[in-house]
Each structure stands twice: as C-alpha cells, then as structure tokens.
Amino acid sequence: MVTMSSSTTLPDFNSVAPSISQETANLPLLSAVLEGFVDGILVLSEAGTCVHSNQKGRALCRDLSDDGSATSLPTCLKTVIKHLLESREFYPEIPLVLTQELTSQSGHQIRARVQWLDFPATSGSYLLVSLENKTRSAHSSALLEAVQYNLTPRERAVWVLRRANRSYEDIAKELYITVNTVKRHLKSIYAKRREVTEAMAN
C-alpha cells in the first residue's frame, strides 16, 4: 500500500532531510546549480516528503495546485509519484521515468517527469521531480526562431502565438487582424524558415 502525505511541504534549500548529510545538502554550488535550472526541481523522500525544491519548482507547484497553495504538493503530482512508487514493486530493477502532461491554473502546459534518485551514501531512495513549463519553452524557442528567420515584428507576434499551438482564429482575434492576414504572415514565415534551413544544409 502506497501512501502520500496530504501535508507535504515545499521547503527551500535551507531545509534538510536528516538522512542527507548537512555538508552535502548545503553546498552553495549545488544550491546555485539547482536554482539555475530552467525547469522546476523537487527532491522527495519515498514517504513523499519534499527535502529540496528550487524557486521555479515551488512556483510551478503553486500554479498546479487547485487552491494556489505555496506549501503543499499538488494532487496531480502526488498521483504521478504514487504510480512510480507502485511501479517499483513490480519492476524493481528497471529505472523507470514517468512523464505526465499537466495544465496549470494559469493555462500553461507543464510536463512533469518523476524518476528515482539513488544516493550511494544513504540507505534510502529519493524521487526527482522535474517540471518543464512547455508554454514558456515554446515562447522562448519562437523568439529565437524569429531572430534566425529575420521575421518582421508582426510576423514575430504571429509566430509566437502559432508556436504556442494557437489556432488561426485565436491569433487573428488576439492581434486584431483577419484570418487571411494570419495565413499570409505564416506563408511568409514558412518561406523564410525554408530559406534558412536550406542555407544551413548547404
């Protein structure tokens, strides 16, 4: 039987689990590296207690929570974690990674990955949860591509929305243009992208 605490808290890096050495857990370099990740990072004990979380991880958990709580693990993540815990009973030798696509309260698409994290110096195992904000990643990629393809400001605005999987109608409504104008901009963007791709191939 797998149980998850309903009051799992999300501490900052100053909170340390007793089973991890104080010297290792409080390394400033480790803290800086985890805070520097684009993704949200959570490290949980097998009991579901969060022993580490970076700022992005806490922010994404807050956005995934039904009540916007900043101190508890969202129910959707508890479910994924529960499945990984159960899977170890059936596949103890296989290093499984479970992935789940989630939608946050603000409408962002979040990819959650949960996997085992074994520390040789400790007797227990831990869970590593990484949370990728796919909506922000797509936005960043679109901005980079806008520079690569030498898009005009209006083409860039259309491309950013299109890369976020917005429909032609949604793009037209948000930018106060017609659907035909959206199609014309996208035709131009695809032509510029093709030119860049062919130039790189040659």
Own/partner contacts of 56-59, CB < 8 Å, gap of 24 or more, are 56/131, 57/10, 57/129, 57/131, 58/10, 58/12
Write out the chain's pLDDT in tens, 202 residues.
333 444 444 444 333 333 333 344 456 777 787 788 889 999 888 887 888 889 999 999 999 987 766 667 888 898 898 888 888 878 878 888 899 999 998 888 999 999 988 766 666 788 999 999 998 888 999 999 999 999 999 999 999 999 888 899 999 999 999 999 999 999 999 999 999 999 988 8
Give me the DSSP letters along 131-146. EEEHHHHHHHHHHHHH
For residue 148, the model assigns a pLDDT of 94
Confidence at residue 26, expressed as pLDDT on a 0 to 100 scale: 53
Decide if 50 contacts 73 (C-beta within 8 A).
yes
* pLDDT per position as a tens digit, 33-92: 778 888 999 988 888 788 888 999 999 999 998 776 666 788 889 889 888 888 887 887
Helix 179-201 and helix 153-163: axis angle, to 10°?
90
pLDDT at 169: 95
Neighbouring residues of 42: CB distance < 8 A, sequence distance ≥ 6: 10, 50, 52, 53, 57, 61, 73, 77, 127, 128, 129, 130, 131
**SS3 category, 178:** coil
- Of 147, 158, 153, 149, the C-alpha closest to 196 is 149
Give the pLDDT confidence score for residue 3 in this predicted structure. Answer: 38
Residue 46 token pair: 């097998």
Q: What pLDDT does 38 receive?
A: 83
Under a CB-based contact definition with an 8 Å cutoff, are residues 57 and 10 in contact?
A: yes
CB 171, CB 144: distance < 8 Å: no
pTM of the model: 0.69
186 vs 16, 58, 182, 193, CA distance in Å? 51, 37, 6, 10
Which helix (DSSP H) or strand (DSSP E) does residue 19 occupy? none
